[in-house]
A and B are shown apart, each in its own frame.
Chain A
Amino acid sequence: MVEVKNLSKTFDGHTEVLKNIDLNVKKNDVVAILGPSGTGKSTLLRCLNYLCEPTTGTIRIGDVTVDAAHHTKQEVRNLRRKSAMVFQGYNLFKNKTAKENVMEALVTVQKKSKAEAEETAIRLLDKVGMLDRKDFYPSKMSGGQQQRVGIARALAVNPDVLLFDEPTSALDPELVGEVLNTIRQLAEEDSTMILVTHEIRFARHVANRIIFMDGGVIAADGSPEEIIDNPENPRLRQFLNFVSK
């Protein structure tokens, strides 16, 4: 479903943030990415979406492949349509209501009719428990509510893979649960997801594969049992000790 080959990213010509990453994600996989901050987790996710242009490497999602060495705008747009991103800061369109946020890409990118887009939006808002807020603007919603709308917006485009970049990090502690529950529900429905998170217990629970990133490389990769219950990598042990405190 997702195939990353030889992906690297260097900022400003000298800061090498991602170092030759290879990664394959199968359909229905739920992959959690853990790691200390500043190790390139966000950069990796953003590269998958081409919000950040890789320095080298190819990315394939579904039937679209983009090579950093030579790519067209159209290829990039096609790649973006294959995935959907849920942002740490929600990034809901501030000038649109919850429903309009979910409808936006359906109408503009997928050229669906308004009626069809609206039907999808209503169904998805219901799914994330936000139907009663469908006509609210983001400024009138709590962080947890905004993030659930953000998830509905990502689901609307029917992506091959959902990308989550620390979806609960900006939330007040009492609002984290509602968002995690929504994500858990999606995982149980066999969505393909890549999820950057600091919620170790949650990752242990919903992911079937965990990747530990450190210093721009994948330092450990395995099942939740291998990575969290029996960590071998010393840096990983140190990290888990540190976060569980």
Chain B
Amino acid sequence: MTLFTWEYFAEVFPLILSKLDVTLTLTVIASFFSLVIGVIFALIGYYKIKGLNLILKVWSSFMRGTPAATQVFFFYYGLANFSSIILNMSPTVAVAVIMSLNMSAFVGESIRGALMSVDNGQREAAMSLGMSGFQMTTRVILPQAVRVALPPLFNDIINLFKMSSLAFLVGVRDVMGIAKIEGANSFKFFECYACVMLIYWVITMCLTYVQKHLEKRFNAIY
């Protein structure tokens, strides 16, 4: 058995790459939901909404303090005992749910930090003009917070992209899942996982490039 066969690598690469759509779909869906939930979390934290704020703190510490892989198992296998919805859920959906919930805690923190960074004078100016809380938030606070939040949010998205590889744990055939299956068939683990490493790396570099570009654009405005 040779150490590395280019022929096999060339053969398996397109196959593994063809599952990139599963990985990206998971990433996009989880990005969307973690952003939506994260904004709500951030606003609850920022305005210190009574009751909810405490629940949120516990939830956030729980989500950030346990491994994503464990969360996937706990949700998909553990909670399935109690909920027929989860029992009948497709593994892809289950992973998307956990990715969204997990990352929303991080996104919430990123956005809350950005909101806190908007200086109080901006709020006072808006209030003194008689603007409503909603107008102040949407027209002054959030637009300024977005710029601050952009770098950490983009890191959160990159983390989601990498986190999606956990989907193989529950049998989803994403990039990682298919590589595991192919490797087990051919015993050419090195080639298979090398493909996976390469794909993740290239995509992450692309995302990082977009991140730098966006930051520059945003900082140029004002």
Q: A95-B143, A109-B130, A109-B131 are in contact. Are A137 and B222 (CB under 8 A)?
A: yes
Q: A104-B139, A139-B222 are in contact. Are A92 and B130 (CB under 8 A)?
A: no
Q: Tell me the interface secondary structure of chain B in the complex.
A: helix
Give the chain B neighbours of A83 by CB distance below 8 A: 128
Are A80 and B127 in contact (CB-based, < 8 A)? yes
Are B130 and A51 in contact (CB-based, < 8 A)? no
Among A80, A95, A157, contact of B222 (Cβ-Cβ < 8 Å)? A95
Are B130 and A105 in contact (CB-based, < 8 A)? yes
- Nearest-neighbour CB distance to chain B for A7, whole angstroms, equals 18
Is the CB of A164 closer than 8 A to any CB of chain B? no
Report the count of interface residues on B (CB-CB < 8 A).
Answer: 18
- A78–B122 Cα distance when bound, in Å, is 20
Give the chain A neighbours of B132 by CB distance below 8 A: 77, 108
- A94–B122 Cα distance when bound, in Å, is 8
Are B128 and A49 in contact (CB-based, < 8 A)? yes
Closest to A79 in B: B130
Give the chain B neighbours of A87 by CB distance below 8 A: 121, 124-125
Is the CB of B206 closer than 8 A to any CB of chain A? no
Closest to A78 in B: B130
- Nearest-neighbour CB distance to chain A for B150, whole angstroms, equals 13
Give the chain A neighbours of B140 by CB distance below 8 A: 93, 95
- A89–B124 Cα distance when bound, in Å, is 11
Q: How large is the interface on A (under 10, 10 to 19, 20 to 34, 35 or more residues)?
A: 20 to 34
Give the chain B neighbours of A95 by CB distance below 8 A: 140, 143-144, 222
Is the CB of A84 closer than 8 A to any CB of chain B? yes
Is the CB of A91 closer than 8 A to any CB of chain B? yes
- A180–B128 Cα distance when bound, in Å, is 22
Task: List CB contacts (< 8 Å) of A140-180 with chain B.
Answer: 140, 153, 157
Are A51 and B128 in contact (CB-based, < 8 A)? yes
Give the chain A neighbours of B135 by CB distance below 8 A: 108-109
Is the CB of B129 closer than 8 A to any CB of chain A? yes
Are B122 and A108 in contact (CB-based, < 8 A)? no
- A140–B221 Cα distance when bound, in Å, is 11
Is the CB of A85 closer than 8 A to any CB of chain B? yes
- Nearest-neighbour CB distance to chain A for B147, whole angstroms, equals 8
Interface string of A193-227 (1 = CB under 8 A from B): 00000000000000000000000000000000000
- A72–B211 Cα distance when bound, in Å, is 45
Task: List CB contacts (< 8 Å) of A83-140 with chain B.
Answer: 83-85, 87, 89-95, 104-105, 108-109, 137-140
Are B129 and A80 in contact (CB-based, < 8 A)? yes
Q: A51-B124, A91-B124 are in contact. Are A105 and B131 (CB under 8 A)?
A: yes
Is the CB of A81 closer than 8 A to any CB of chain B? yes
- A228–B129 Cα distance when bound, in Å, is 33
- A141–B105 Cα distance when bound, in Å, is 38
Closest to A51 in B: B124
- A104–B135 Cα distance when bound, in Å, is 10
Give the chain B neighbours of A90 by CB distance below 8 A: 121
Are B128 and A93 in contact (CB-based, < 8 A)? no
Are A94 and B144 in contact (CB-based, < 8 A)? yes
- A182–B145 Cα distance when bound, in Å, is 33
- A83–B140 Cα distance when bound, in Å, is 20
5 pairs of A and B residues whose beta carbons are closest in the complex: A137-B222, A91-B121, A105-B129, A91-B125, A81-B130
Would you list 23 pairs from A and B whose C-beta atoms are within 8 A, ordered by A residue? Answer: A51-B127, A78-B130, A81-B130, A83-B128, A84-B129, A85-B124, A87-B121, A90-B121, A91-B121, A91-B122, A91-B124, A91-B125, A93-B122, A93-B125, A93-B126, A93-B140, A94-B144, A94-B222, A108-B139, A109-B131, A137-B221, A138-B222, A140-B222
A-binding residues in B (CB < 8 A): 121-122, 124-132, 135, 139-140, 143-144, 221-222
B-binding residues in A (CB < 8 A): 49-51, 77-78, 80-81, 83-85, 87, 89-95, 104-105, 108-109, 137-140, 153, 157
Known: A93-B125, A104-B131. 14 other contacts (CB 8 A): A49-B128, A51-B128, A78-B130, A81-B130, A89-B121, A91-B122, A93-B122, A93-B126, A93-B140, A95-B140, A95-B143, A139-B222, A140-B222, A157-B130
